[in-house]
Amino acid sequence: MPTTESTPLLQPPRTKSPNRLRASSRATAPLHTKRQHTATNTDALLRDITLGFSDGLTVPFALTAGLSVVGSTKIVIMGGLAELFSGMISMGLGAYNVAITERQHWVAERERIVLSAGEGEDGREREAVLGVLGRYGISEGVADSLVRELSADEEAWVRFVMDFGMGLPEPERGRAWVSAVVMGGSYFVGGLVPMVPYFFMEEARRALGVSVGISVVVLLVFGFAKTYVTVRNRRAGAWGALQTLVIGAVAAGTSYGVVRWVDEVS
């Protein structure tokens, strides 16, 4: 078809108007927020599992190793189970309180920022955002323009200040109960591992040997896994496995030595 002035062969690219750009960014904001919250929740879940399982492997293992000096598997089981349940409850309640405190802190900060933005007294928040942008090499003029654009929408401004200026992403609702169950349950599972031999063996000293063997393997595997999942480096994973094993060995050795010394003295 011949080219005419009314139908040019090369048409200029269509550009979105500022209104369309703003609408497009608002449409994608929920998706970004959802992904961000998913990543945050996954990190929190891994943290709870790591802390609970790590403490569960170390503390009950050290206690049962110390009690095995007495020579009675019944005493080891009774003492170990008592510590296991009390530790599980303590870890769960601790995780619950931390999650509740984080949520309360987030709500209080958000209410403060909303109030200051509504009254036009959000100078501190603006300085915080400008400081964050400045660390990434954004010029003062561009940063000022971005802050003005964001502050035109109060909801977007509050969300941006909370996520980036203050570094306080919204904690998931109901996270406290999940954190309590996960950390407490991880502690119980980790603490049950070194106690298994005492349920099936009558002699405490022999059960201790089997328990040590099982615990060494589990400590190495767990130490490697928790480090490798975080940094994706095998050398770092091996170092993490060694650190976890040393911590468990020191705790168990100290407990065993103290109880044996007390038993000999008395």
In a domain, 35, yes or no: no
Number of domains in the chain: 1
State how far the Cα of 95 lies from the Cα of 102, in Å rounded to an integer.
Answer: 11
| Within-domain flag for 27 | no
Decide if 163 is inside a domain.
Answer: yes
Domain holding 90, by residue range, is: 44-265
Calculate the alpha carbon distances from 12 to 9, 20, 256 in Å: 10, 18, 80
Higher pLDDT: 75 or 119? It is 75
In a domain, 189, yes or no: yes
pTM, 2 dp: 0.72
Specify if 218 maps to a domain. Answer: yes
- State the burial class of residue 57 (Cβ atoms within 10 Å of its Cβ: 0-12, 13-18, 19+): buried
Residue 13 lies in a domain: no
Residue 15 belongs to some domain of the structure: no
106 lies in some domain = yes
Tens-digit pLDDT profile for residues 215-237: 999 999 998 998 888 888 889 99
pLDDT for 121 equals 61
> Mind listing the pLDDT tens digit for each residue in 5-48?
444 444 444 444 444 434 444 444 444 455 555 556 677 788 89
**Lowest-confidence segment of 31-40, 144-153, 177-186, 254-263 by average pLDDT:** 31-40
Residue reference for tokens 């309590």: 180
Convert the pLDDT of each residue in 150-161 to its tens digit: 878 888 888 888
Average pLDDT of the chain, as a whole number: 80
Q: What is the DSSP string of the chain?
A: ----SSS-SSPPPP---HHHHHHHHHHHHHHHHHHHHHHHHHHHHHHHHHHHHHHHHHHHHHHHHHHGGG-BHHHHHHHHHHHHHHHHHHHHHHHHHHHHHHHHHHHHHHHHHHHHHHTT--HHHHHHHHHHHHHTT--HHHHHHHHHHHHTSHHHHHHHIIIIIS--PPPPTTHHHHHHHHHHHHHHHHHHGGGHHHHH-SBHHHHHHHHHHHHHHHHHHHHHHHHHHHH--HHHHHHHHHHHHHHHHHHHHHHHHHHHHHHHH-
Task: Say what the pLDDT of residue 63 is.
Answer: 86
Contact 74, 261 (CB under 8 A): no
Determine the pLDDT at residue 23: 44
State yes or no: pLDDT of 3 exceeds 50.
no
Q: Give the range with max mean pLDDT: 61-65, 88-92, 207-211.
A: 88-92
What pLDDT is recorded for position 20?
A: 40
